[in-house]
Amino acid sequence: MIIPCPKCGQQIPATLQTCQFCGAIVSPAIRSAARAKGGDDELEAGSGIAPKTVWAIYGALCWFLILTHGTSLMITLVFAPIANGKPFEPDVFGIVSILIDVVFIIIGICLLAKVERVRDFVTTVCAVGIIFNLWDLLGNMALILGLGIYGVILTIMTVFSIIINGGLIWSIYETQRIMAFDRYDKTRVRR
Protein backbone atom coordinates (compact mmCIF):
# COMPACT_ATOMS: atom_id res chain seq x y z
CA MET A 1 0.00 0.00 0.00
CA ILE A 2 1.29 3.45 -0.87
CA ILE A 3 0.66 6.40 1.47
CA PRO A 4 1.55 10.10 1.33
CA CYS A 5 4.40 11.27 3.56
CA PRO A 6 2.94 13.41 6.38
CA LYS A 7 5.65 16.05 5.86
CA CYS A 8 6.53 16.31 2.13
CA GLY A 9 3.49 14.58 0.62
CA GLN A 10 5.54 12.20 -1.61
CA GLN A 11 4.04 8.74 -2.18
CA ILE A 12 5.89 6.12 -0.07
CA PRO A 13 5.29 2.47 0.85
CA ALA A 14 3.26 2.00 4.02
CA THR A 15 5.98 -0.33 5.33
CA LEU A 16 8.55 2.47 5.68
CA GLN A 17 9.15 3.95 9.10
CA THR A 18 10.76 7.08 7.63
CA CYS A 19 10.14 8.88 4.36
CA GLN A 20 12.66 7.92 1.70
CA PHE A 21 12.52 11.47 0.29
CA CYS A 22 12.64 13.85 3.27
CA GLY A 23 13.48 11.53 6.18
CA ALA A 24 10.37 12.41 8.19
CA ILE A 25 9.18 9.79 10.64
CA VAL A 26 5.94 8.13 9.57
CA SER A 27 3.91 7.39 12.69
CA PRO A 28 2.90 3.80 13.41
CA ALA A 29 -0.74 4.93 13.52
CA ILE A 30 -0.61 6.11 9.89
CA ARG A 31 1.11 2.91 8.77
CA SER A 32 -1.33 0.71 10.71
CA ALA A 33 -4.33 2.53 9.28
CA ALA A 34 -2.98 2.07 5.75
CA ARG A 35 -2.32 -1.63 6.35
CA ALA A 36 -5.78 -2.13 7.84
CA LYS A 37 -7.26 -0.44 4.80
CA GLY A 38 -5.35 -2.39 2.12
CA GLY A 39 -3.24 -5.03 3.85
CA ASP A 40 0.50 -5.65 3.40
CA ASP A 41 -0.20 -8.00 0.51
CA GLU A 42 -1.54 -5.05 -1.44
CA LEU A 43 1.83 -3.27 -1.32
CA GLU A 44 2.22 -1.62 -4.70
CA ALA A 45 5.32 -1.21 -6.79
CA GLY A 46 6.64 2.26 -7.66
CA SER A 47 4.28 2.46 -10.62
CA GLY A 48 1.24 1.81 -8.45
CA ILE A 49 0.66 -1.62 -10.00
CA ALA A 50 0.10 -4.54 -7.63
CA PRO A 51 3.13 -6.83 -7.20
CA LYS A 52 1.29 -9.88 -8.59
CA THR A 53 0.63 -7.98 -11.81
CA VAL A 54 4.23 -6.73 -12.02
CA TRP A 55 5.58 -10.25 -11.54
CA ALA A 56 3.14 -11.55 -14.18
CA ILE A 57 4.37 -8.94 -16.69
CA TYR A 58 7.99 -9.70 -15.79
CA GLY A 59 7.43 -13.44 -16.26
CA ALA A 60 5.62 -12.91 -19.56
CA LEU A 61 8.49 -10.81 -20.92
CA CYS A 62 11.06 -13.41 -19.79
CA TRP A 63 9.09 -16.19 -21.46
CA PHE A 64 8.67 -14.05 -24.57
CA LEU A 65 12.46 -13.71 -24.73
CA ILE A 66 12.95 -17.47 -24.31
CA LEU A 67 10.25 -18.46 -26.79
CA THR A 68 11.19 -16.00 -29.54
CA HIS A 69 14.85 -17.01 -29.45
CA GLY A 70 13.91 -20.69 -29.12
CA THR A 71 11.72 -20.33 -32.21
CA SER A 72 14.53 -18.58 -34.07
CA LEU A 73 16.87 -21.41 -33.10
CA MET A 74 14.37 -24.01 -34.35
CA ILE A 75 13.95 -22.14 -37.63
CA THR A 76 17.70 -22.00 -38.17
CA LEU A 77 18.42 -25.61 -37.21
CA VAL A 78 15.27 -27.48 -38.26
CA PHE A 79 12.76 -25.65 -40.43
CA ALA A 80 15.12 -23.81 -42.79
CA PRO A 81 17.02 -27.02 -43.69
CA ILE A 82 13.71 -28.83 -44.30
CA ALA A 83 12.47 -25.98 -46.50
CA ASN A 84 15.77 -25.96 -48.44
CA GLY A 85 15.77 -29.75 -48.76
CA LYS A 86 19.30 -30.08 -47.42
CA PRO A 87 20.88 -30.42 -43.97
CA PHE A 88 22.02 -27.41 -41.97
CA GLU A 89 25.36 -26.21 -43.28
CA PRO A 90 26.96 -23.88 -40.76
CA ASP A 91 28.35 -20.63 -42.06
CA VAL A 92 29.55 -17.65 -40.06
CA PHE A 93 26.13 -15.96 -40.07
CA GLY A 94 24.37 -19.19 -39.03
CA ILE A 95 26.79 -19.90 -36.19
CA VAL A 96 26.55 -16.31 -34.88
CA SER A 97 22.74 -16.50 -35.09
CA ILE A 98 22.72 -19.78 -33.15
CA LEU A 99 25.07 -18.42 -30.47
CA ILE A 100 22.98 -15.27 -30.02
CA ASP A 101 19.79 -17.32 -29.68
CA VAL A 102 21.37 -19.68 -27.13
CA VAL A 103 22.74 -16.74 -25.10
CA PHE A 104 19.32 -15.03 -25.03
CA ILE A 105 17.60 -18.28 -24.01
CA ILE A 106 20.08 -18.60 -21.12
CA ILE A 107 19.53 -14.93 -20.21
CA GLY A 108 15.75 -15.48 -20.19
CA ILE A 109 16.14 -18.47 -17.88
CA CYS A 110 18.44 -16.47 -15.57
CA LEU A 111 15.89 -13.64 -15.52
CA LEU A 112 13.20 -16.10 -14.43
CA ALA A 113 15.59 -17.35 -11.73
CA LYS A 114 16.09 -13.70 -10.61
CA VAL A 115 19.88 -13.76 -10.99
CA GLU A 116 20.82 -10.18 -10.00
CA ARG A 117 23.93 -9.81 -12.19
CA VAL A 118 21.98 -10.94 -15.24
CA ARG A 119 19.11 -8.57 -14.38
CA ASP A 120 21.58 -5.66 -14.17
CA PHE A 121 23.23 -6.72 -17.43
CA VAL A 122 19.88 -6.99 -19.23
CA THR A 123 18.87 -3.53 -18.06
CA THR A 124 22.04 -2.09 -19.59
CA VAL A 125 21.70 -4.10 -22.81
CA CYS A 126 18.06 -3.06 -23.19
CA ALA A 127 18.94 0.62 -22.69
CA VAL A 128 21.63 0.37 -25.37
CA GLY A 129 19.16 -1.53 -27.56
CA ILE A 130 16.62 1.27 -27.26
CA ILE A 131 19.25 3.82 -28.32
CA PHE A 132 20.15 1.74 -31.39
CA ASN A 133 16.47 1.13 -32.18
CA LEU A 134 15.79 4.86 -32.07
CA TRP A 135 18.69 5.39 -34.46
CA ASP A 136 17.27 2.64 -36.70
CA LEU A 137 13.93 4.44 -36.79
CA LEU A 138 15.61 7.32 -38.61
CA GLY A 139 16.96 4.91 -41.21
CA ASN A 140 13.64 3.11 -41.42
CA MET A 141 11.94 6.30 -42.54
CA ALA A 142 14.15 6.25 -45.64
CA LEU A 143 13.39 2.52 -46.08
CA ILE A 144 9.67 3.25 -46.10
CA LEU A 145 10.21 5.56 -49.05
CA GLY A 146 12.48 3.09 -50.83
CA LEU A 147 10.92 -0.27 -49.96
CA GLY A 148 7.29 0.63 -49.33
CA ILE A 149 5.47 -2.01 -47.28
CA TYR A 150 8.72 -3.78 -46.34
CA GLY A 151 10.03 -0.55 -44.86
CA VAL A 152 6.79 -0.19 -42.89
CA ILE A 153 7.17 -3.75 -41.57
CA LEU A 154 10.78 -3.05 -40.53
CA THR A 155 9.64 0.13 -38.78
CA ILE A 156 6.89 -1.74 -36.91
CA MET A 157 9.43 -4.39 -35.84
CA THR A 158 11.78 -1.67 -34.59
CA VAL A 159 9.01 -0.01 -32.57
CA PHE A 160 8.04 -3.43 -31.16
CA SER A 161 11.68 -3.98 -30.13
CA ILE A 162 11.69 -0.61 -28.33
CA ILE A 163 8.52 -1.60 -26.47
CA ILE A 164 9.93 -5.00 -25.42
CA ASN A 165 13.26 -3.46 -24.31
CA GLY A 166 11.45 -0.74 -22.38
CA GLY A 167 9.12 -3.32 -20.84
CA LEU A 168 12.07 -5.38 -19.66
CA ILE A 169 13.77 -2.34 -18.11
CA TRP A 170 10.54 -1.30 -16.38
CA SER A 171 9.69 -4.79 -15.10
CA ILE A 172 13.23 -5.40 -13.79
CA TYR A 173 13.18 -2.04 -11.99
CA GLU A 174 9.73 -2.68 -10.51
CA THR A 175 10.56 -6.22 -9.37
CA GLN A 176 13.76 -4.92 -7.76
CA ARG A 177 11.63 -2.48 -5.75
CA ILE A 178 9.25 -5.25 -4.73
CA MET A 179 12.13 -7.52 -3.68
CA ALA A 180 13.67 -4.63 -1.70
CA PHE A 181 10.35 -4.08 0.11
CA ASP A 182 10.14 -7.81 0.85
CA ARG A 183 13.70 -7.82 2.25
CA TYR A 184 12.85 -4.75 4.34
CA ASP A 185 9.72 -6.42 5.73
CA LYS A 186 11.70 -9.56 6.64
CA THR A 187 14.37 -7.57 8.48
CA ARG A 188 11.69 -5.51 10.24
CA VAL A 189 9.95 -8.68 11.47
CA ARG A 190 13.22 -10.04 12.92
CA ARG A 191 13.78 -6.93 15.06
pLDDT on residue 179 = 84
pLDDT on residue 112 = 93
Angle (CA) 184-189-191 rounded to 5° is: 100
DSSP H or E segment with residue 81: helix 80-84
pLDDT on residue 66 = 93
pLDDT on residue 163 = 92
Cα 174 to Cα 177: distance, rounded to the nearest angstrom: 5
pLDDT on residue 191 = 47
* CA distance readout (Å), 94 to 67, 69, 99: 19, 14, 9
Q: Which residues of the chain have pLDDT under 70?
A: 34-46, 184-191
Signed CA dihedral, 139, 144, 146, 151: sign only: positive
Neighbour-count burial for 92-122, b at 16+ CB within 10 Å, e otherwise: eeeeebbeebeebbebbebbeeeeeebbeeb
Cα 180 to Cα 45: distance, rounded to the nearest angstrom: 10
